[in-house]
Amino acid sequence: MSTSAALPTALIVHAHPEPDSFSTAQMATAAQALRGAGYQVDVLDLYGDAWAPVLAREEFAPVDGPFKPQAEQMRALQDGTLDEVVKDHLERLLAADLLVLSFPLWWFSLPAILKGWIDRVFVMGALFGGDHGFFGDAALAGKRAMLLFTTGGSSEAFRPGGAFGAVHDFLFHIHRGMLEFVGYQVLEPVITYGPAHLTDGERAAALEAVQESVARTATASLPAIPLSAR
């Protein structure tokens, strides 16, 4: 009897402190869209899980001399002494075909708790460095990643020449410096602009748009975002 191929897996890492926020509803909508598109979906709720974002000396074995976080990550990986929660998250990350970072855009970047997740879980020696290279030679080459986020400002404010400037200008350090650095092909972000300023009907329509965009983006054979647009 033949067996069907395993379903692809999507890991959603969500970072919003309010369970009833639009951002959380957007994340749940994206998860539903991915399941409908044939993915198994794994969700990490950083606030809900009380994730500790600080990459600190205390999570490693005693350190002689200056504390060099990435060197200690490599040592812990080799010695089998990685923090158990970090190890669990790393294994779930490595198992995923698609990574979705879900968050509100705060100060034109990631919330601190999500940046801390990157700091602790993008382990040197496991994703890059050591036996791995960078970018196309990193451990996650061939896998995909996308950003799913909300803004405080309108879409007009985030256009070239708008009050804030082009949204992709604020995403370059995430797309290139975090995701592509460890090998991901970065997909177009899914963004809801200014949900706090929308009516209930407009928010409902925005969630429908998110569902369509996530399903389309996650299943299409898309090229990486051009460098000029990152």
- The pLDDT assigned to 221 comes to 57
Residues of the chain with pLDDT under 50: 1-4, 222-230
> Residue 130 domain-assigned?
yes
Q: What is the pLDDT of residue 5?
A: 65
**Residue 3 domain flag:** no
Asked whether residue 177 is assigned to any structural domain, the reply reads: yes
Full residue range of the structural domain in which residue 50 is found: 9-229
pLDDT at 175: 97
For position 222, what pLDDT does the model report?
Answer: 43
Residues 6+ apart with CB under 8 A from 36: 215
Determine the pLDDT at residue 18: 97
pLDDT for position 4: 47
Q: The domain that contains 209 carries what CATH number?
A: 3.40.50.360
Counting the structural domains of the chain, the total is 1
Query: Residue 2: inside a domain, yes or no?
Result: no
Q: Which helix (H) or strand (E) holds 103?
A: strand 98-104
- Residue 220: per-residue pLDDT: 80
Q: How far apart are the first and last CA of the chain?
A: 47
